[in-house]
């Protein structure tokens, strides 16, 4: 805006960015609101429960869980403490290596997830999948992978051709 003319956005890029950035703000807010109202969980808490339910023994190390839920270890620690308070999760030190902590989904936590999942999936479907053509859904996957790849080259396999 002042220095030697930085590469600005073209008009069409700007249009795309306006729509995209608004969506980037509003879609997570809408998904969070649905989960909060219907299940009393936020997106991150839901992801934690979902990741645990898919894991063998419904158990994962905190550090693995943090990666799967796309959050920091610190955030996870606070959240697991909360979820433990609700009886959805238990923590126990790993017997093999005392540095690790295993988080495991309780039966109550599993039921909570099973109750919340259909509504959440339905909401994802109605906000994202239903309005898009099948090719757009696939494009969205490729676009997301490319953007992820730039931020974290190791994470996203370069399946995005």
Partner DNA sequence: CTGCGTCACTTGAAGCGTCAAGTGATCGGT
Partner DNA sequence: ACCGATCACTTGACGCTTCAAGTGACGCAG
Note the residues at the interface with a second copy (CB under 8 A).
1-3, 6-9, 12-13, 15-17, 19-20, 22-28, 30, 70, 113-115, 117-118, 121-122, 124-132, 136-152, 156
Rounded to a whole number of angstroms, the minimum distance from the CB of residue 89 to a second copy is 18
Tally helices (H) and strands (E) across the chain: 6, 3
- 28 or 87: whose CB is closer to a second copy? 28
Taking the C-alpha atoms of 20, 21, 27 and 28 in order, what is their torsion angle to the nearest 10 degrees?
A: 140
CB of 95 to a second copy, least distance (A): 31
Q: Which is nearer to a second copy, 63 or 70 (CB)?
A: 70
Q: Does 100 bind DNA (CB under 7 A)?
A: yes
Pairing label, strands 89-93, 59-61 = unpaired
Question: Of these partners, DNA, a second copy, none, which one is at the site of residue 72 (CB under 5 to 8 Å by kind)?
Answer: DNA
In angstroms, what is the C-alpha Rg of the chain?
Answer: 19
Phi/psi at 74 (5° precision): -60, -45
């Amino acid at each position: 805006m002042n220095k030697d003319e930085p590469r600005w956005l073209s008009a069409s890029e700007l249009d795309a960015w306006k729509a995209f950035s608004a969506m980037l703000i509003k879609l997570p807010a809408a998904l969070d609101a649905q989960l909060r109202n219907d299940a009393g969980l936020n997106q991150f808490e839901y992801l934690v429960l979902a990741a645990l339910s898919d894991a063998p023994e419904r158990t994962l190390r905190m550090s693995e869980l943090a990666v799967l839920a796309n959050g920091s270890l610190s955030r996870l620690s606070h959240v697991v403490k909360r979820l433990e308070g609700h009886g959805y999760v238990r923590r126990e030190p790993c017997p093999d290596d005392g540095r690790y902590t295993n988080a495991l989904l309780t039966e109550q936590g599993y039921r909570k997830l099973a109750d919340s999942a259909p509504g959440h999936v339905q909401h994802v479907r109605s906000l994202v999948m239903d309005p898009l053509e099948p090719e757009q859904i696939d494009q969205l996957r490729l676009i997301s992978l490319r953007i992820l790849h730039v931020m974290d080259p190791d994470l996203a396999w370069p399946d995005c051709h």
